[in-house]
Chain A
C-alpha cells in the first residue's frame, strides 16, 4: 500500500494524523447523504491535500477564507490581492496588525496563516487578477472569491466561462463567490457554463442610482448632494490639476469644507467629515461577523466539493445561491438561480439580449445609462452595429471620428430592433443587445 499520501499531510508531532482527528471523522465515515460509492478515507484525504485552490482577495472575506481553508485540510492555497493594508481594515481583517499598515495584504495574510497552520502552503501574488492568463487559472481545482468589486467578479467569471473546453472536463473550474454589506451577504457556487453565472445574476446587485447633475448643480436638498457637488463639480473647477486621492486626508478635508459651505448656503443640515468620506469613497459598512458567516459558507462549499463529504451547492438542478440577512433576526434564502439563455457571458452566442430604450436619448445619454442599468453596469462602453461604428473609446483617432455621434439621437443611428455589440475594457468579452424602442 502506498503510504505517501497520508505522509504528505501535516502530521501530529507523534507522526500520526492526530492533529486532524476531528476532520478525519468526517472524511473516514459515510453519512446519510453521501453517495454510497463515495471513496471515503484515504482517497478523500489525499484528494483534499492535493487540491490546489485559489483565493481571490485577502481582505475581510479573504482573511477568513484563508484561515478556514487551511483548517479544513487544504494544503496548497494561492491568494491574489493588489491592495495594501489600511488602518480601517483592522476591525475585521484579523491577520493584520497595526504594524502591517501599508504592506501588501496577500503577502502578510499568506505568511500569517502559513505560520499558524503547519503544513499549509500559501502562495501570495500581490497584483491584479487581470495580470494572470488562462494557463495560470487552469492549474486550480477550485476558485474562491472574496471581493468587494463587481467588476473584478465579472472579469474572473467571464474568464472562467471562456476557459471551458467541452473536450476537457478539467477546464471547468468551480467558482465560489462571497460578498457582504453590513449585516447582509451572499455565498454562491458557479459551475461555468453549467449553472447560472455571475453575469446571469448581475441584476441581484443593482448599482445605486446616481443623483442627476442638475440637482447637484442647482437644487441640492440633501447633505450628500452637497458632497457630490464638491466631489464632481467643485474639484474639477478649482483643483483640476491635482488628482483626487480618496485616501489623502487633505483632499477629503477640502471636499468636506466645500460641501459644508455649500450646505450652509442652502440651509441643509447634516454634512459631516465621516459622511464626506463615505460618499466620496463609496464606503460599504463591514463587520467581522458577517465576513465570518459568508466566508465560512464559501469554505464549507469548497470543502464539500473537494471531498464529496456531503452534497454541495451548485450541483446542476439544485440550489446554488444562499442569501443571508442578519439585521432582523437571522434569515437565509437558499435557492437555485436559473441560468439565463441570453446571458452575454454563458448564454447562447447568437442571442442578443433585448434592451428597452428611449429612442429620444442621445447616444451619450444611452451610454451613460449603461453604467446604471442593473443588467449591464458598463462604465467605458464601445458600441457598434453590424454595419457601423457608433462610438469607440479607443484608439484616439476612431474616438475622434465617432465623437459626433454622441450628441445624435438613438433613432437617428439605429433601427428599432437592431442589434448592437458593446465592449468594455474591463471585461474580456462582447455584450450583444437588441435595442427595443420604448415609444
Chain B
C-alpha cells in the first residue's frame, strides 16, 4: 500500500466521546462550553435546574456550582434522579453535585450550602460565574438583585419555572448579543450572484457554453447549470432591451426557455444539468439583497459611530457596511452547491467563487485594519473572525437582551415597549401569553405568602388549600392582565376579553392543582429546552430564544415572545 498517503492519527479519546455533538457546534463551540462556569441557584422542591445541569455536564461544560441550602427529604427522592436513599438528611446540593459529576469525569462541580440570602449578601459572590440559572421559587428581592448584577456585568441570566404540566423560562442577555455563526438552513444560504455576475464568472460561463448548440451530447449534458443560466440570461437580454427577467411572469417565461433548450433526443429523454437549471430559476434569480435584520444592523448607532472601545463585532460590522455601501451587495460567501458537472469544471467553478470571496474578504479586512488604527485598538482582530463574518453576513443575528419581569408583591408590573404586542396577542387562539400571566400571578402569590411565621420560605399556591388559593391567584392574574391591557392603551371587547379571562383562569387553576410541585416529565423537558439555550448562548452559535419561552404540557405546545 505504498501508494496511499501516510497513516493518520485517528480521533482523540475526547473527539470520540463528543463526536455526535462536535458535528453540530465544532471545536470552537466545545472550547466555549469548556470555558464556562455555571451557577444554579436552587431552593424549591423542583429538579428543573438539575435536569438542565445534567444536559450540560454530559456535553462537557467546564464547571458547575449548585447553591442550595436544603437537606434531602423523602419527597426529593420521588423527583430527583441524582439522589439516593442513603442521602436522606444530607445536603441536597452536595449529593446532587456528586452524582452529577459521575456523568462526566472531565467536568468540575462544586456546591454551596449557605442560604441564598447570605450567599448573595457577600461582595463578589457571583463573580466566578459566566452564567447564572435561577430556579423558581425565589424571593423577588433576591431575583431582582441577581438581575441587577447580570445587567451590570454582562452575565447571562436564566430564570426557570416548572409547575405541574406547565413551565416557563426567561433569558436575560446583554443589550448587544451578536451571533455570527447562526447555522442557517443550507438551502437558504446559496448566493450565486447570477443577476450580478463579475467579470471572471462571466468569462468562465462564456467559455463553458461556447458552441453550446454543436457540442457533443456528453459535453452538453455536463455543462454546470450556473453556466447555463448565465448563458441563457444573455440570450434573454438580447430579446428584452438588455433587461434581466424581473417579474414572476418573466422568470417563468425564462424558465420555459431554458427547459426547451434541453436535448431530449437521448435515451434518458432529458438532461440532468438542464433539470437543475430549471429548478434553480425561481430560487436563484433574485437580487442579492441582505435581510432586513442585517440592514438594521448597519443602521444601528453602535455600527454607525464606532466607539473607542467598540467590540470586534461592531468593527467588522462597520467594515462590512462600508463594503455594502460601495457595491450594493454583501461580501460573497463563496460556496457553490453540488451540481451535475465534470469534476474539473466543477472545481474550476468553485475556484471562481472562492477567489471572488477572498477578494471581497481582503477588502473588508483592509477596512477593519483602518478602523482599528482610527480607534487605536491595541490587539488586531483575527482574520478568521472577519472571514466568518463575511461568510455568514446575510444571516447574522443581533439579539437585544434585556431584563425580564421580576414580580414584586403588590406592585404593578411595567411592560414598556412590549405591552402593545403582548396585549394584542393575548386573545389569539393558542396564545400562551395567558399562561405567562398565570405564572406571574404565581410569583406574586409566593412573594406574598410564607410557609411559616419565620418569613424564610415562600409558600406556593395550592400546597394545602387549592380552592382558596385558586381564588386569590385568579384575582392577582386578572389584575396583571387588566394592567397590561391598560398600559398598552387598548381595549379588548367581549367576547374576546371574557375568553382571555377564561383561559387565564384555567391556567391558574391547573397551576394551583400542582401545589407548587413539578412533574418529572415537564421538568426534564424544560431542562432540555433551557440547556439547549444555555449551549447556544455559551457557544454563540445558533439563535437563542428572545427572551421568554412557555411550554404547555397539556396541549404539548411551546410559545416564544419578548417581555
* A residues in contact (CB < 8 Å) with B: 12-14, 18-23, 25-26, 29-33, 64, 67-68, 71-72, 87-88, 90-92, 94, 97-98, 116-118, 182-183, 187, 219-222, 249, 252-253, 256-258, 260-261, 264, 266-268, 273-274, 277-278, 283-293, 295-297, 299-301, 303, 309-311, 313, 319, 322, 326-332, 334, 360
A residues in contact with B182, CB < 8 Å: 328
Given contacts A25-B514, A287-B20, A289-B55, contact A303 B11 (CB under 8 A): no
**Which A residue sits closest to B527, measured CB to CB?**
A292
A-B contact pairs, 25 of them (CB 8 A): A19-B75, A22-B45, A22-B79, A25-B514, A26-B165, A29-B513, A87-B17, A91-B20, A97-B102, A98-B105, A183-B532, A219-B342, A258-B4, A285-B24, A287-B21, A287-B59, A288-B54, A289-B532, A300-B519, A303-B519, A309-B165, A327-B542, A329-B543, A330-B545, A334-B555
Residues of B within 8 A of A26 (CB): 164-165, 513-514, 517, 519
Question: Does the CB pair A72–B17 fall under 8 Å?
Answer: no
Question: Given A26-B164, A67-B81, A87-B17, A299–B521 Cβ distance below 8 Å?
Answer: yes
Q: Bound state CA distance, A309 and B164, in angstroms? A: 11
Say how far B510's CB is from chain A's closest CB, in angstroms.
5
Q: Give min CB distance, A120 to chain B, whole Å.
A: 11
Cα–Cα, bound, A117→B103 (Å): 17
Q: Determine if B15 is an interface residue (Cβ-Cβ < 8 Å).
A: yes
Residue of B nearest to A88 (CB): B19
Choose from B11, B531, B554 the contact partner of A292 (Cβ within 8 Å).
B531
Chain B residues proximal to chain A, CB less than 8 Å: 3-5, 7-8, 10-11, 13, 15-24, 45, 51, 54-55, 58-60, 74-75, 77-79, 81, 84-85, 88, 102-105, 164-165, 182-183, 222, 269, 338-339, 341-344, 346-347, 462, 466, 505-506, 509-510, 513-515, 517-522, 524-525, 527-529, 531-533, 535, 542-546, 549, 553-558, 560
Given contacts A21-B517, A90-B17, A301-B556, 18 further A-B contacts (CB under 8 A): A12-B77, A13-B88, A19-B75, A22-B519, A23-B520, A31-B513, A88-B17, A88-B20, A91-B21, A91-B58, A91-B59, A118-B77, A187-B556, A253-B10, A293-B525, A293-B528, A296-B522, A327-B183
Are A33 and B506 in contact (CB-based, < 8 A)?
yes
Q: Is the CB of B531 within 8 A of A288?
A: yes
Q: What is the minimal beta-carbon distance from A90 to any residue of chain B, in angstroms?
A: 5
Q: Check if B556 sits within 8 Å of A291, measured CB to CB.
A: no
CB distance A334 to B462 under 8 Å? Answer: no
Chain A residues positioned under 8 Å from B344 (CB to CB): 266-267
Q: Which of B7, B24, B346, B528 has the most CB of A within 10 A?
A: B528
Do A72 and B520 have beta carbons less than 8 Å apart? yes
Residue among A20, A116, A284 with most chain B CB within 10 A:
A116
Cβ 8 A contact of B3, one of A23, A261, A319:
A261
How far, in angstroms, from A267 to B22 measured CA to CA in the complex?
26
Q: Which chain B residues lie closer than 8 Å to A297 at the CB level?
A: 521, 525, 556
Contacts of A71 in B (CB 8 A): 78-79, 81, 520
Q: How far is the CA of A258 from the CA of B4 in the complex (A)?
A: 7
Residue of A whose beta carbon sits closest to that of B4: A257
Asked whether A330 lies within 8 Å of B24 as measured between CB atoms, the reply is no
**B55 to nearest A CB, angstroms?**
4
Query: A13 and B74: CB pair below 8 A?
Result: yes
For B554, what are the chain A residues with a Cβ–Cβ distance below 8 Å? 33, 310-311
A276 and B514 CA atoms in complex are apart in Å by: 50
Q: Give the shortest distance, in Å, between A167 (CB) and chain B (any CB).
A: 32
**Closest Cβ–Cβ distance, residue B99 to chain A (whole Å):** 9
Q: Is the CB of B517 within 8 A of A25?
A: yes
Query: When the two chains form the complex, which single residue of A64, A219, A283 contacts B341, counting CB atoms closer than 8 Å?
Result: A219
Does B544 contact A329, Cβ atoms closer than 8 Å?
Answer: yes
A414 to B176 alpha-carbon distance, docked (Å)? 66
Contact of B81 among A116, A278, A327 (CB under 8 A): A116
* Chain A residue at smallest Cβ distance from B19: A88
Contact assessment for A33 and B510 in the assembled complex, using a CB-CB cutoff below 8 Å = yes
B521 partner, pick from A18, A33, A303, beta carbons under 8 A: A303
Q: Is the beta-carbon distance between A68 and B21 smaller than 8 angstroms?
A: no
> When chains A and B are docked, how far (Å) is the Cα of A179 from the Cα of B58?
19
**Residues in chain B near residue A92, CB distance under 8 A:** 20-21, 58-59
Name the B residues within 8 Å of A283 (CB-CB). 19-20, 23
Which residues of the other chain, A, contact B339 by a CB distance below 8 angstroms? 221
- Is there an interface contact between A22 and B517, defined as CB atoms closer than 8 Å? yes
Q: Give Cα distance in the complex from A63 to B56, angstroms.
A: 16
Closest Cβ neighbor of A272 among chain B residues:
B8
CA–CA, A187 and B556, complex, Å: 10
A288: B residues at CB distance < 8 A: 54-55, 58-59, 528, 531
> A25-B513, A283-B23, A293-B532 are contacts. A183–B338 as well, Cβ < 8 Å?
no
CB distance from B470 to the nearest CB of A (A): 10
CA–CA, A18 and B88, complex, Å: 13
Contact A23–B556 (Cβ < 8 Å):
no
Question: Which of A249, A285, A300, A311 is the one whose CB lies under 8 Å from B23?
Answer: A285
Q: Is the CB of B528 within 8 A of A292?
A: yes
Best-surrounded residue of A92, A117, A221, A319 (most CB of chain B within 10 A): A221
Q: Which residue of B lies closest to A287 (CB)?
A: B21
**Closest-CB distance, A329 to chain B (whole angstroms):** 5
CA distance A300 to B521 in the complex (A): 6
CB-CB under 8 A from A260, the residues of chain B are: 5
Q: Which residues of B contact A322 (CB under 8 A)?
A: 556-557
Known: A25-B462, A221-B343, A253-B7. A116 touches B58 (CB 8 A): no
**CB–CB B60/A330 < 8 A:** no
Least CB distance from B110 to A in Å reads 20
Cα distance A289–B531 in the bound complex, in angstroms: 6
Question: What CA separation (Å) do A290 and B535 show in the bound complex?
Answer: 12
- The docked-state distance in angstroms from the alpha carbon of A303 to that of B345 is 58
Residue of A nearest to B18 (CB): A91
Q: Is the CB of B555 within 8 A of A300?
A: no
Cα A220 to Cα B350 with chains together (Å): 14
Q: In the assembled complex, which residues on chain A have CB atoms less than 8 Å from the CB atom of B75? A: 12, 18-19, 21-22
Residues of B within 8 A of A29 (CB): 466, 513
A273 in contact with B58 given A322-B556, A329-B560 (CB within 8 Å): no
Q: State whether B522 touches A278 (Cβ < 8 A).
A: no
Of the candidates B4, B51, B532, the one having the most CB atoms from chain A within 10 angstroms of its own CB is B532
Closest CB-CB distance, B436 to chain A, in whole Å? 14
With contact pairs A25-B514, A187-B556, A329-B543 given, residues A300 and B59 touching in the complex (Cβ less than 8 Å): no
Contact A221 B557 (CB under 8 A): no
- A419-B15 Cα distance, complex, nearest whole Å: 51
List the A side residues contacting B338 at CB < 8 Å.
Answer: 221-222
Ranked 9 nearest A-B pairs via Cβ: A292-B528, A22-B517, A296-B525, A293-B528, A296-B524, A289-B532, A71-B520, A19-B78, A300-B521
Q: Point out the residue from A32, A284, A292, A313 that lies within 8 Å of B509, measured CB to CB.
A: A32
Give Cα distance in the complex from A22 to B44, angstroms. Answer: 12
Complex-state Cα separation, A373 to B435, whole angstroms: 43
Q: How far is the CB of A4 from chain B (nearest CB, A)?
A: 21
Q: Considering the chains assembled together, what is the distance between the CA atoms of A309 and B554 in angstroms?
A: 9
| A26 to B549 CA separation, bound complex (whole angstroms) | 23
Beta-carbon contact of A19 and B74 below 8 Å: yes
Residues of B within 8 A of A334 (CB): 555-557
Taking CB atoms, residues of chain A closer than 8 Å to B102 are 97
Interface centre among B3, B222, B554 (most CB of A within 10 A): B554
Residues of A within 8 A of B553 (CB): 300, 310
Contact B556 A292 (CB under 8 A): no
CA distance A360 to B268 in the complex (A): 9
Assess whether A278 is in contact with B556, with CB atoms less than 8 Å apart: no
| Chain A residues with CB below 8 A from B509, complex form | 31-32
Is A257 a contact of B10 with CB atoms below 8 Å?
A: no
What residues of B have a CB within 8 angstroms of the CB of A328 in the complex? 182, 542-543
